[in-house]
Amino acid sequence: MAKKEETISLIDTFSEFKELKNIDRTTMVSVLEESFRSVIAKMFGTDENYDVIVNPDKGDFEIWRNREVVADENLTNPNMQIALSEARKIDASYEIGEEVTDEVIFANFGRRAILNLRQTLASKILELEKDSLYNKYIDKVGQIVSAEVYQIWKKEMLLLDDEGNELLLPKSEQIPSDFYRKGETARAVVARVDNTNNNPKIILSRTSPVFLQRLFEMEVPEINDGLITIKRIARIPGERAKIAVESYDERIDPVGACVGVKGSRIHGIVRELRNENIDVINYTSNISLFIQRALSPANVSSIRLDEENKKAEVFLKPEEVSLAIGKGGMNIKLASMLTEYTIDVYRELDNTADEEDIYLDEFKDEIDEWVINAIKSIGIDTAKGVLNAPREMLIEKADLEENTVDDVLRILKAEFEE
């Protein structure tokens, strides 16, 4: 009776795995067969003389053992051989050298074998699940997925997809103002799939420029249809972004198409990105013009390019300088990210002034040498150069305190006012 119960428990085990795991029928049969063979090989040292037949429809299995008939006195390996006298009990016509095939009842191998089988089976199924998860998501890298928020920790958030697979959204990949509750749905792009020790981890991102790109592809049919191309994206997540677009069809206004009538197309994206301010500009391969557009809403007077070192000196009217730099230096930072050029902004030189310029080194009596060196390290070595440079840029790029910069400006202004 116990043996029958053990057999039933084995069949239950198979149906459990069949129902719970997302594995196709052929693979399931193969895994079951491999698991049986693995246990048999552990018990007898080999499985090569066994035939395992799995019947998934009936939920059962058969194991047949093939043994060579040998003379009773020559029997050395009962697993591979059968004594002639034993063989003739099965069929009187057996002769030495023939092969006997008889069914083996797996439950007769005992509880340890059954436990071993269940563990082997569970291990193989888990491996398959991991492979299946990895293959599913490695193909989704760069695509947007929606998943349910399941657990929220300090450093990351755990989400579950429709099949119950675990996805991770690290804090570093969340927009600073993101706020989710358990049970809510979150959208993010699949950033990467880590697979250390065959243990796949799906990492999502809401801060990646790709997330912004995919949102535009979903909202703007012309992008999805290939009529408009997104050339470049720069983002400070949750704050501001700049996106450069281009159309090969002169009849299409790429910026207008992306923004939509009264901003209808961009509103949804802005909401998804927690009110991230999005500037859409026309892309151009003319670097000088591209930098001018990237610095919008500021109006640039002139640009001096150093293409070899990817640097640009931009000159603006005094009232345009703060627009070019933006709040907290955000506008100029995004423009640099978008154009891939280091951008320095300067006030437009007053051509009517005919005073001669003075090298900073001449002010060593009044300004500490380390301060002069810090200013010179950002490429400014004259008094007028400092006076024409925005105060914010001197603070940020030369890494100087505000009061230090103000003292320098006061000393230099006084020199020209005398």
Taking only the tens place, the pLDDT of each residue in 94-109 is 999 999 998 888 878 8
The per-residue pLDDT for 95 is: 93
Give, rounded to a whole angstrom, the gap between the first and last alpha carbons of the chain: 112
The per-residue pLDDT for 68 is: 94
Question: Which residue did the predictor score with more confidence, 29 or 276?
Answer: 276
- Predicted confidence (pLDDT) at residue 143 exceeds the cutoff of 90: yes
Q: What residue has token string 């290939």?
A: 226
The per-residue pLDDT for 12 is: 58
Share of the chain above pLDDT 90, in %: 56
- Predicted confidence (pLDDT) at residue 28 exceeds the cutoff of 90: no
- Predicted confidence (pLDDT) at residue 31 exceeds the cutoff of 60: yes
Q: How would residue 16 be classed by pLDDT, with cut points 50, 70 and 90?
A: low
**DSSP alpha helix (H) spans, 163-227:** 209-219, 221-224
Question: Which residue did the predictor score with more confidence, 15 or 390?
Answer: 390
Give the count of beta carbons closer than 10 Å to the beta carbon of residue 250: 6
Beta strand pairing call for 156-160 and 81-83: unpaired
The per-residue pLDDT for 107 is: 79
Share of the chain above pLDDT 70, in %: 92
132-137 contacts, C-beta under 8 A, 24 or more apart: 132/22, 132/23, 133/165, 133/200, 133/202, 134/193, 134/195, 134/200, 136/165, 137/165, 137/190, 137/193, 137/200, 137/202
Summary mean pLDDT of the chain: 88
The per-residue pLDDT for 352 is: 44
Q: How would residue 357 be classed by pLDDT, with cut points 50, 70 and 90?
A: confident
**DSSP alpha helix (H) spans, 196-311:** 209-219, 221-224, 254-259, 264-272, 287-294
Q: How would residue 228 be classed by pLDDT, with cut points 50, 70 and 90?
A: very high
Highest mean pLDDT among 35-44, 106-115, 182-191, 372-381: 182-191
- Predicted confidence (pLDDT) at residue 123 exceeds the cutoff of 80: yes
Report how far residue 331's alpha carbon sits from residue 300's, in angstroms, rounded to the nearest whole number.
13
| Mean pLDDT of the 320-337 span | 92
Q: How would residue 14 be classed by pLDDT, with cut points 50, 70 and 90?
A: low
389 touches 346 (CB < 8 A): yes
- Predicted confidence (pLDDT) at residue 114 exceeds the cutoff of 50: yes
pLDDT digits (tens, 9 = 90+) for 397-416: 888 999 999 999 999 888 87
- Predicted confidence (pLDDT) at residue 356 exceeds the cutoff of 80: no
- Predicted confidence (pLDDT) at residue 353 exceeds the cutoff of 60: no
295 touches 346 (CB < 8 A): no
The per-residue pLDDT for 13 is: 58
pLDDT digits (tens, 9 = 90+) for 358-371: 888 888 888 999 99
Give the count of beta carbons closer than 10 Å to the beta carbon of residue 195: 16
342 touches 312 (CB < 8 A): yes
- Predicted confidence (pLDDT) at residue 292 exceeds the cutoff of 50: yes
| Least confident span in 56-60, 195-199, 243-247 | 56-60
Q: Which helix (H) or strand (E) holds 336?
A: helix 330-339
Question: Which residue did the predictor score with more confidence, 389 or 59?
Answer: 389
pLDDT digits (tens, 9 = 90+) for 155-208: 999 999 998 999 999 999 999 999 999 999 999 999 999 998 889 999 999 999
pLDDT digits (tens, 9 = 90+) for 75-94: 999 989 999 999 999 899 99
The per-residue pLDDT for 67 is: 94
Could you say which DSSP state residue 171 is in? G
The per-residue pLDDT for 71 is: 93
